[in-house]
Amino acid sequence: TMMMFRSVTVVAVAVGDSLVLGSSQGARQIVACIIISLGGVMYAWHDLHFDFEGYVWGLMYSASMIVNSLYVKSAFDRNKDLSVWTKTYLNNALGTPIVIGIALWREDMSQMVAKGQSLSIWGAAAVTASCFMGLGISMSGVACRSVLSATSFDVLGNCTKYLTLGISALMGSRNSAASIAGICVALGGCALYSPAGALVVNAVLGGSKNRQDSVGADENTN
C-alpha cells in the first residue's frame, strides 16, 4: 500500500516542478507520470484495507515526499557551489533529529538497546556495512539531484523500487497477478518517461507519418 502513496507523488511533483521550479513537462512525460501512478494503485489495490491511522501516515508520507522533492531540488540549485559531500552531510544532519524524535516517540528504546547489545560480530558487521551502503546511496542520490529535475529524480526513485519488486517476484515472492501487472505498468511508465521512451515514441510517430505520406503519394499517383 505504501508503494501506492509513493507512486502518486510523481504527478504532484511534475506539476510543482513546472509551476514552482519552471521545469517544462511535455505530453509524453505527463502521460508517463500518470501511468506510473496507475501502476502503483494496481500494485496495491488487492491489499487496500481502510485504516484511518494508516492512511493518515500514508498521506503524510506522500506530502513529505512532494515537499522534499521540490524543496531539496530548489535548495541544491541555489547552492551549486557546495560539494556532494557537503550536501549529503547537511541533508542527513537536518533529518537525523526528526528520526530520533520519532524513534523516541514510537519505538521501545529499551528493547532497541537490548538488541544492539546482543548483536554478534557478524550482526554488528552487517549493521556497519549497511551504514556505509546508506551513505553511498545518499551521496549518489545527491549527485543525481544535482543534474536531474525534481520530476526525473522522483521517477528514478519509483523505477528502482519497482525493479526491486520485480526482481523479488522473479525470485519467488508471493504476488498476485494484479500486483505483477501493476509492477509492469509502473515500469512501462518509467520507460516511457526516459530518453529511450522518447526515441520509441518518435520512431512510432515517425513511422506512422511515413506510412501516411506513402499512402498519400500512392493515391496521387493513381
Q: DSSP per residue over 50-86, as a string?
A: --HHHHHHHHHHHHHHHHHHHHHHHHHHHTTTS-HHH
pLDDT in tens, 87-136: 999 888 888 898 888 888 888 878 878 888 888 899 889 999 999 999 99
Question: Residue 180 — pLDDT band, cuts 50, 70, 90?
Answer: confident
Query: Three cell numbers at 167?
Result: 526482481
Say which residue, 139 or 206, is predicted with more confidence.
139
pLDDT > 70? residue 144: yes
pLDDT of amino acid 199: 76
Q: DSSP per residue over 162-214, as a string?
A: HHHHHHHHHTT----HHHHHHHHHHHHHHHHHSHHHHHHHHHHHHHHHHHHHH
pLDDT in tens, 56-81: 888 888 898 899 899 989 988 888 88
pLDDT > 80? residue 1: no
Closest CA relative to residue 2, chosen from 34, 44, 39: 44
pLDDT of amino acid 140: 92
C-alpha gyration radius of the chain: 22
Average of per-residue pLDDT values in the chain? 82
The most confident of the ranges 5-9, 143-147, 195-199, 212-216 is 143-147
Contact, 17 vs 25, CB < 8 A? yes
Distance CA 79, CA 87 (A): 9
pLDDT > 90? residue 165: no
Contact, 201 vs 28, CB < 8 A? yes
Query: Three cell numbers at 67?
Result: 515537499
pLDDT > 50? residue 155: yes
Distance CA 27, CA 100 (A): 42
pLDDT of amino acid 218: 40
